[in-house]
Amino acid sequence: MKIPVLQLKGILLTSIQAELSDEDALEFQIDVLEKVQNSNAQGVVIDITALDVVDSFMARVINETANSISMLGAHAVLCGMQPSVALTLTEMGRELIGVDSALNLDKGVDKLNDVIKGLELTMDDYQANH
Amino acid sequence: MFEQTVLQINDTNSIMHIRQTARDLAKLLDFGSADQTRLATAVSELVRNVLQHGGGEGTCQIENQSDSYQDKICIIVEDEGPGIIDIDMAMQDGYSTQDSLGAGLPGTKRLVQEFMLTSEPGRTSVTIALSRRRQ
């Protein structure tokens, strides 16, 4: 199963619409990263509204994807996590998800734009002072 | 409604199928969405354990043990792998072998009401149960 990654201005939007097998999850991981590299995007919103189970493997994949996106110089925001998934992950413990997150796609995009704006402002500031 | 079913664990595709079967039963018995997710996630972790540490093959028995007082789902995951050498250590938070980085057994235990683990070389068995008093 291929998960579409859409570009909207400077950001990428991707929505996981069904339960993923392990192979699908790993394929998604590399797909998103390659898309970030090729698109020059400054950020990625990953929507997981449709996931009703996030086990430790999936949590790790999401975590690694977000961290890798940061390493490429972009920013990731996770959005749409189901309440029962959030509860279960918290109960399982060990901060499985350490990713910036937002309630829904709308807020995810807002958050990402704020982060990108913040980065640009910092950059202007830096250039003004040097 | 089934009273008991035994599903084979043999590859990563089993994970989705088995946890969905467990969730379906929880749904059928009117467990809330939090409990459905807890159970599906716990099953996912245990089945994954079998694939990663338990020799790669095993079984998962899902049983409806409801009676007139309570709704209860009992799940037994078994494998014939090498076994867990130090159970006490395996039940400590932060313990993981093979770089699995999973939440492991202690995380799974916190999701369910009953948890029992027995292990010896050639046979590991984990029993979990979720129950709820009938209204």
Residues A70-86 have a mean pLDDT of 95
CB spacing of A55 vs B41 below 8 angstroms: yes
Min mean pLDDT across A66-80, B20-34, B64-78, B102-116 is at B102-116
Phi/psi zone of residue B98: left (φ > 0), alpha (ψ -120 to 50 degrees), beta?
Answer: left
pLDDT band at A124 (very low <50, low <70, confident <90, very high): confident
The candidate with the shortest Cα–Cα distance to A110, out of A1, A11, A6, is A11
The predicted pLDDT at position B103 comes to: 55
Query: How is residue A1 written in tokens?
Result: 């199963």
Distance between CA atoms of residues B46 and B88, nearest Å? 17
Name every chain B residue with its beta carbon within 8 A of the beta carbon of A84.
Answer: 33-34, 36-38
Query: How is residue A24 written in tokens?
Result: 């699908």
How much of chain B, in percent, has pLDDT values that exceed 90? Answer: 73
Cβ neighbours of residue B125 under 8 Å, at least 6 residues apart?
B76, B77, B78, B117, B118, B119
Interface of B with A (CB under 8 A): 12-13, 15-16, 19-20, 23, 33-34, 36-38, 40-41, 44-45, 48, 93-94, 101-104, 106-108, 110-111
Min mean pLDDT across A57-61, A95-99, A111-115, B87-91 is at A95-99
- Answer whether B103's CB lies under 8 Å from B46's CB: no
The predicted pLDDT at position B101 comes to: 44
The predicted pLDDT at position A128 comes to: 82
The predicted pLDDT at position B89 comes to: 81
- Answer whether A68's CB lies under 8 Å from A33's CB: yes
The candidate with the shortest Cα–Cα distance to B51, out of B79, B76, B18, is B79
Rg of chain B over all Cα atoms, to the nearest angstrom: 14
The side-by-side arrangement of strands in the sheet containing B114-120 is B4-9, B58-64, B70-79, B123-133, B114-120
DSSP string, A29-57: HHHHHHHHHHHT-SEEEEE-TT-S---HH
Read off the pTM.
0.90
Distance between CA atoms of residues A104 and B80, nearest Å? 44
Which residue of A lies nearest to B46 if distances are taken between CA atoms?
Answer: A55
Query: How is residue A110 written in tokens?
Result: 């807002």
Query: What is the sign of the dihedral through the CA atoms of B97, B103, B104 and B106?
Result: positive
CB spacing of B111 vs A91 below 8 angstroms: yes
Q: What's the mean pLDDT when you consider all of chain B? A: 90
